[in-house]
Structure 1
Amino acid sequence: MKNTFFAFALLLFISSISSCVVLSPKKYKALLGTKDSLYTAFNEGLIKIENLEKEVGKLKKDTTLMAEELRDLQKNYNEMDASYKKLKNNSSSEITKLSGDLAAREKRLKEVEEVLRKRDEATNALKEKLQQALLGFTKSGLTVEIKNGKVYVSLTDKLLFPSGSIIIDEKGKQALTQLANVLKQQPEINIAVEGHTDNQKINNLGQIKDNWDLSVLRATSVVRYLTENEKVESVRMTATGKGEFQPLGTNANADGRSKNRRIEIVLSPKLDELYNLIK
């Protein structure tokens, strides 16, 4: 294209020169001016063409790069879309599974709450029965109360034993007999007998060496009376000695020490049903 344009301009110039033989000097100068203008325009045209060709090359290169970027973006989009669809499907199944788990747990929670409600009702009913059965011994230091879902029957040592003894006296046997009558009607109740003492040192008690011995032997005497004499099932019974280490009052005075010397019979419902629910 450049050569064609240049040839055309040159031909025009030669034709003009050839005709200058008959032209006046003024027209000849004008023609030379036209030639210079054409030459300048021609050079400027060549520069513009060169710049345009560079621009076209740059645009082609940019277009190629953009096409590659577009392919990469399309590929990434396809991968992300596939991942999203997979995640969506997995999420749906996970949500369904989670909903099922929550429903099952809610059902189990309601069942546990129902068992605990029944336990509390049974515990309160047992307390009422014991209070009625042992009403005649409350002035002798017997109390019945509920703590942590269990019924505690507390008997001071003076109600059960002579001073320093592990042999239950007659008044104590009467109280235990009344207690046994209620316990035998409640086969679902476990029975723990705990012996407690004050912190006074044991003196001249023969085989009883210290407060540990005294608390254990007194608890064992109560268990033995309930099982052997009153026929309460042995499998429901346990005997433990707490010594002086769970006092109710101060050991600094006689009243406090009297509260601390006691037998506590702890009655707790069997929770097999509850344990099965929470496994």
Structure 2
Amino acid sequence: MIKNIACIALVGLVMSSCVSSKVYKDLESKYANLKRENRKLEDEYGELKKAGQADKLAMDQLHDQYEKTRAERDELQRNYDAAVANYNNLKQSYDALEKNSSAAIAANSKKNRELLRQLEDKERTLAQERNRLDTLQRDLDARSKRVDELEGLIAAKDAKMQALKTAISNALRNFEGKGLTVEERNGKVYISMENKLLFESGSWAVGTQGRKAVKQLGEVLAQNTDIAVLIEGHTDNVPYTGNAQLSGNWDLSTKRATAIVNILLENGQIDAQNLTAAGRGEFAPVASNDTSDGKGKNRRIEVILTPKLDEITKLLNDI
């Protein structure tokens, strides 16, 4: 194409020297048109070349996709053929088993039903056992809670009795070493007062120092209204013969215990329902009656303070 244009231009140059000006101009105009057409054709050629390259790329991609799809089809075909072959084998095996197992199935049907019944029975038993265990667990939780409450109450009672023992010891400090002792054992407070602090020999009338000690004890008891108070009278083993109105050591020990109760009740804040008087005679000695010192220890009043255990007893009954 370019060569043609060059020839035409050359011819135009040659002829321009021998043709008229008008002819020259016509040729020049045609040359310009041809030149524009040539550029247009070159542009179209470039676009067509690009389009051809794009088409070639798309064709290559399509070819790759075609080969991939073809390979997948072949793989699927192989898998299908294998599945068909496996199916045929399984069908043949199944047909053979079905033919041979009808009798066995019939024979096992009854056994299977029995096993199913047993399984259902076991499931019902398991459900019942689970319900029983759930009930036991709830009961155990409730009992554990009550045990915790009981331990808390016991600890509180022990702490209160220890505090009560301390309060009584402080209140009666002036009488310790004079035949009075205070101790705490097994959750109870024991106040022991020998007769030399309280009574003359053979008498149940409380002396001045003894009355003072009992009144100070009463002040502490008045602040602890939930304490049971047992007053026990004790004697040595020497038979009592001082008063014909008394039958012996039993009566004397009871009279002395009652005398202490009466002094305590002079404190209006003490509830009489919390008090108990008891005579033990010579039958609960704390020392040997073979010595004067031992007999002196046995002649005594014991005030035993016990926490009321109504709440604890209720919890124990609930456990």
Q: Conserved in 1, the CA contact under 8 Å of 2:193 and 2:300?
A: yes
Q: Which has the higher contact order (CA 8 A, sep 6+)?
A: 1
Check 1:68–1:124 CA distance in 2 against 1; reply closer, same or farther (3 A cut): same
Per the alignment, residue 175 of structure 2 pairs with 137
> Please, what TM-score do these two structures have when normalized by structure 1?
0.72
Residue of 209, 222, 237 corresponding to 1:199 = 237
1:211 partnered with 2:286: no
In the TM superposition, what are the counterparts of 1:59-70 in structure 2 within 5 Å? 70=108
Any stretches of 5+ residues in structure 1 without a counterpart? 1-62
Alpha-carbon distance between aligned partners in 1 of 2:285 and 2:291, rounded to the nearest angstrom: 13
Any stretches of 5+ residues in structure 2 without a counterpart? 1-101
Q: Conserved in 1, the CA contact under 8 Å of 2:229 and 2:306?
A: yes
1:165 partnered with 2:175: no
Residue of 246, 261, 267 corresponding to 1:230 = 267
> Cα deviations across residues 209-239 of structure 1 (Å, max 9, x unaligned)?
2111111111011101111x23322111110
1:251 partnered with 2:258: no
Identity %: 38
Secondary structure of the structure 1 residue equivalent to 2:247: coil
**Pairwise CA distance, 1:75:** 4.2
1:113 partnered with 2:118: no
Cα RMSD (Å) of the superposition? 1.9
> Please, what TM-score do these two structures have when normalized by structure 2?
0.64
Alpha-carbon distance between aligned partners in 2 of 1:76 and 1:273, rounded to the nearest angstrom: 56
Per the alignment, residue 93 of structure 1 pairs with 131
Per the alignment, residue 9 of structure 1 pairs with none
Alpha-carbon distance between aligned partners in 2 of 1:113 and 1:266, rounded to the nearest angstrom: 23
> Cα deviations across residues 55-87 of structure 1 (Å, max 9, x unaligned)?
xxxxxxxx99x8897455334323321211111
1:265 partnered with 2:303: yes
Counterpart residue identity of residue 265, structure 1: V
Task: Count residues in correspondence.
Answer: 215
Residue of 173, 189, 194 corresponding to 1:156 = 194
